[in-house]
């Protein structure tokens, strides 16, 4: 088997031999672009076809969703991390697309489509001059299509509209080409038609990318400036930093400086991703590549920082990124308390790769030491926990997710509450909750169903527009706390999967919210507390009390489980005591003897109840908290 493998690698190197080499590349032949779309519209499949057509991946090495490297991405069929790859592309002489003949360098970034990973998309856009806007020819424009388009327009990128999956029997090319043209502001015939699965139209698309994408602009003689748009941690090599060079050049063995921290490092390796790392002597203006300095401290390579030369370096940094505000908070605790330092190191390394993740230490009376983590959404939370468990071999308990509330007390003080345990005990004057601007796209047949769901979730209709005869865009203001639990699930099930959702933070509003405590034998268990609307408090209390009754093992004494708002109990269940048959040896005789034994047992149980503590096994916490609310589902790619 070894011989064919060597023969294949020789053949591949020959096919790429004449491609422009990193560092010596003229910026006029570089084209930096990304692919943006809604979930499941074919971004990763299109990227696969481009990799095959440009020859950087041969048929033997090829696999579906080649750029989705993580196991969790391949299992779920979704893209979580943006991936950059360098590809050579030769435009033949006399082509019909009027692109200048010659060999070009295409730097492509494949981006996620889910709303929870919008920050990944926004960072990728800063490394590009154009965006390929991909729309499914069978489903049309959806909510995240619009959201990503507005991000690309905000970054001043050239938009290339593409209709994908034209080979599907249900494809409606004319209708959705007209919709897409109206959205972008071009003619329907300007919309490119492709099938990423079969490869139809992909060559034409590559030629159009060469023709329409502006070449990168920068000063090759100026001091080096490069923007860090992503970083990963490698156990053996330390921090691997991905950059887009704007001015000057970065060379092997140069001493570089991170402008935000003033940390100085020597570059041990510099190169490009094609699609595996390829070493280079240097990377110049407009190129996208990676740097390795051997640094193990992940805090010294922050996303959005500017890299420059130590000597005669730039004085003005590049713009960087606006840091996202967490939408959802949840506590992460190791089941084994000895894993706390490992969890801290793991979060630090994961934050390097996922700049939208925030965390700070916290302590729970029930769960011990852990971290309060901020996420952009429920899927982001789920993926982060999965990655921590897989990549760092941790067993974790996550508390029920909640958003940030502003609580104003009667004495005028204000408290920011990210955790129910922080809810103040004083008299509350007002509670303000975060609200989001939600955009829902769906067939017009489901307008009534969607309105009913949004009213149930305390939403306010802000407007409605028809995109076509049978597709409508509805704009709602909804409480963030209602969005993060089961809203997406219910929306999908009520519209048979046709509706799509996008949302963004849009301020705060006052609401009638209360803290529901769960008490075991009169003692509150902070891990089960929740801040919810007063109308939903009773159902939450009944659900948690019933669930804990089934999960907590019976004790030697009777254990009451109560749900309470302040001092008022709103729900109760009782775990019956384990009864020992103290009358087993009484084969008759006077009834007073039996009564005496039963009274003695009763007194013993009462004394035990006064001094005993309820043992709640970790499995009960995992089961109660993991299934408190359903999680968001995603489609397969």
Contact assessment for residue 118 and residue 151, using Cβ atoms and an 8 Å cutoff: yes
Q: How far apart are CA 318 and CA 228, in angstroms?
A: 10
Cβ neighbours for 616, distance < 8 A, ≥ 6 positions apart = 366, 520, 525, 552
Q: Are 429 and 411 spatial neighbours (Cβ–Cβ below 8 Å)?
A: no
345 annotated as ligand-binding: no
Ligand-binding annotation for 41, yes or no, is: yes
Q: Which two tokens stand for residue 257?
A: 């400086």
**How far apart, in Å, are the Cα atoms of 113 and each of 69, 79, 313?**
16, 7, 37
Report whether 42 belongs to an annotated binding site: yes
Residue 632 structure tokens:
């968001």
φ, ψ for residue 333, nearest 5 deg? -130, 135
Give just the sign of the alpha carbon dihedral 548, 374, 523, 616: positive
40 is in an annotated binding site: yes
Is 44 annotated as ligand-binding? yes
Burial class (CB in 10 A: 0-12, 13-18, 19+), 608: middle
Question: Which three-class secondary structure string do you get for 548-600?
Answer: HHHHCCCCCCCEEEEEEECCEEEEEEEECCCCCCCCCCCCCCCHHHHHHHHHH
SS3 427: coil
Residue 146: count other Cβ atoms within 10 Å of its Cβ: 18
Determine whether the annotation assigns residue 265 to a binding site.
no
Integer-rounded Cα radius of gyration of the chain: 29
Per-residue tokens: 333: 């605790």
What DSSP designation does 200 have? B
Establish whether 102 is an annotated binding residue.
no
Binding site per annotation, positions for GTP: 40-45, 164-167
Pick out the residues of the known binding site: 40-45, 164-167
């Amino acid at each position: 088997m070894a011989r064919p493998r060597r023969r294949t690698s020789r053949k591949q190197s020959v096919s790429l031999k004449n491609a422009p080499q990193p560092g010596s590349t003229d910026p006029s032949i570089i084209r930096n672009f990304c692919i943006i779309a809604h979930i499941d519209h074919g971004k990763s499949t299109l990227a696969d076809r481009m990799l095959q057509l440009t020859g950087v991946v041969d048929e033997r090495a090829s696999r579906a969703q080649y750029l989705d490297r993580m196991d969790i991405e391949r299992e779920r069929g979704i893209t979580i991390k943006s991936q950059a790859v360098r590809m050579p592309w030769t435009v033949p002489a006399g082509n019909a697309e009027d692109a200048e003949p010659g060999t070009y360098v295409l730097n492509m970034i494949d981006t996620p489509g889910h709303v929870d990973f919008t920050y990944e998309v926004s960072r990728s856009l800063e490394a590009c001059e154009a965006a390929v806007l991909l729309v499914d020819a069978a489903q049309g424009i959806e909510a995240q299509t619009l959201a990503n388009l507005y991000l690309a327009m905000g970054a001043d990128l050239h938009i290339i509209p593409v209709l994908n999956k034209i080979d599907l029997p249900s494809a409606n090319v004319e209708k959705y080409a007209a919709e897409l043209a109206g959205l972008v502001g071009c003619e329907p015939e300007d919309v490119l038609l492709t099938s990423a699965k079969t490869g139809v139209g992909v060559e034409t698309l590559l030629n159009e990318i060469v023709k329409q994408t502006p070449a990168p602009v920068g000063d090759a003689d100026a001091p080096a400036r490069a923007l860090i748009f992503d970083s990963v941690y490698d156990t053996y090599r330390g921090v691997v930093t991905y950059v887009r060079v704007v001015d000057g050049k970065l060379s092997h063995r140069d001493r570089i400086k991170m402008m935000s921290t003033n940390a100085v490092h020597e570059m041990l390796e510099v190169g490009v991703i094609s699609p595996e790392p390829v070493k280079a002597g240097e990377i110049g203006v407009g190129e996208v590549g990676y740097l390795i300095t051997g640094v193990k401290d992940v805090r010294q390579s922050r996303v959005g920082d500017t890299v420059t030369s130590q000597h005669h370096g730039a004085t003005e940094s590049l713009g960087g990124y606006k840091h996202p505000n967490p939408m959802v908070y949840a506590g992460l605790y190791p089941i084994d308390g000895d894993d706390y330092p490992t969890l801290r190191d793991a979060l630090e390394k994961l934050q390097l790769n996922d700049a939208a993740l925030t965390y700070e230490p916290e302590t729970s009376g029930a769960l011990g030491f852990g971290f309060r983590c901020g996420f952009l959404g429920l899927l982001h939370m789920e993926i982060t926990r999965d990655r921590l468990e897989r990549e760092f071999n941790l067993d974790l308990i996550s508390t029920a997710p909640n958003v940030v509330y502003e609580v104003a007390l009667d004495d005028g003080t204000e408290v920011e509450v990210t955790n129910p345990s922080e809810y103040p005990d004083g008299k509350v004057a007002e509670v303000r909750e975060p609200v989001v601007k939600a955009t829902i796209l769906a067939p017009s047949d489901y307008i009534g169903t969607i309105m009913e769901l949004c009213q149930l979730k305390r939403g306010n209709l802000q407007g409605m527009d028809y995109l076509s005869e049978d597709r409508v865009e509805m704009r709602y203001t909804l409480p963030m706390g209602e969005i993060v639990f089961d809203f997406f699930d219910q929306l999908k099930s009520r519209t048979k999967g046709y509706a799509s959702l996008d949302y963004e933070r849009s301020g705060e509003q006052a609401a009638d919210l209360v803290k529901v405590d769960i008490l075991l034998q009169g003692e509150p268990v902070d891990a089960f507390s929740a801040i919810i609307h007063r109308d939903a408090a009773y159902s939450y209390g009944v659900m948690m009390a019933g669930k804990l009754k089934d999960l907590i093992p019976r004790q030697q004494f009777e254990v009451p489980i109560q749900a309470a708002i302040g001092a008022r109990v709103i729900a109760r269940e009782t775990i019956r005591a384990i009864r020992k048959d103290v009358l087993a040896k009484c084969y008759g005789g006077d009834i007073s003897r039996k009564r005496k034994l039963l009274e003695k047992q009763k007194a013993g149980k009462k004394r035990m109840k006064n001094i005993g503590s309820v043992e709640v096994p970790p499995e009960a916490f995992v089961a109660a908290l993991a299934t408190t609310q359903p999680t968001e589902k995603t489609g397969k790619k």
